[in-house]
Structure 1
């Protein structure tokens, strides 16, 4: 890098502002790449969508039927005779 020669403080201030903005841009790019990496490794949005669908499904009449039927089926399975 070659040394720059400034003729006024205004030029120095302008250069400092430019460097500050460039630094902020690079920082935001790093944060964005970290977020993208997190999304690719841990697909929370997909899991949340699935849980939301299951929650909506289980809150209606089907959910009430399942909440009633599942314990009955579990008890039947546990209490059945081995020979039957």
Structure 2
């Protein structure tokens, strides 16, 4: 990489401002990527991805890959509520 030569402080300030903005953009991309990765690690997504990858090998794979995420979306909150009520003794 070639060393840049500046003729004024204004050019240096402009270059520093550009680098600062590029750094902020890179940071925001990283934050967004972490957020999307975090969102993808839900039990429903993990199971649906697992079922989706094996849907060709299982009989009625398309039906199973459609039904399992739907059932998990309904069953997980039900089981959570059941455990919560059970702990309280209701």
Instruction: Using structure 2 for the length normalisation, give the TM-score.
Output: 0.47
Structure 1 SS opposite 2:12: helix
Q: Partners in 1 of 2:43 and 2:28 — Cα distance?
A: 22
Q: Partners in 2 of 1:11 and 1:20 — Cα distance?
A: 14
Shift in CA distance, 28/7, structure 1 to aligned 2, threshold 3 Å: same
Structure 2 SS opposite 1:13: helix
Task: State how 1:34-45 maps to structure 2 within 5 Å.
Answer: 34-42=34-42
C-alpha root-mean-square deviation of aligned residues, in Å?
2.8
Moved runs in structure 1, 4+ residues, more than 4 A? none
Instruction: Using structure 1 for the length normalisation, give the TM-score.
Output: 0.51
Q: Partners in 1 of 2:7 and 2:43 — Cα distance?
A: 54
Task: State how 1:1-84 maps to structure 2 within 5 Å.
Answer: 1-42=1-42
Structure 1 SS opposite 2:4: coil
Equivalent pairs counted in the alignment come to 50
Shift in CA distance, 22/33, structure 1 to aligned 2, threshold 3 Å: same
- Ranked by relative contact order (alpha carbons within 8 Å, sequence separation 6 or more), the top structure is 2
Structure 2 runs not aligned, ≥5 long: 45-72, 79-89
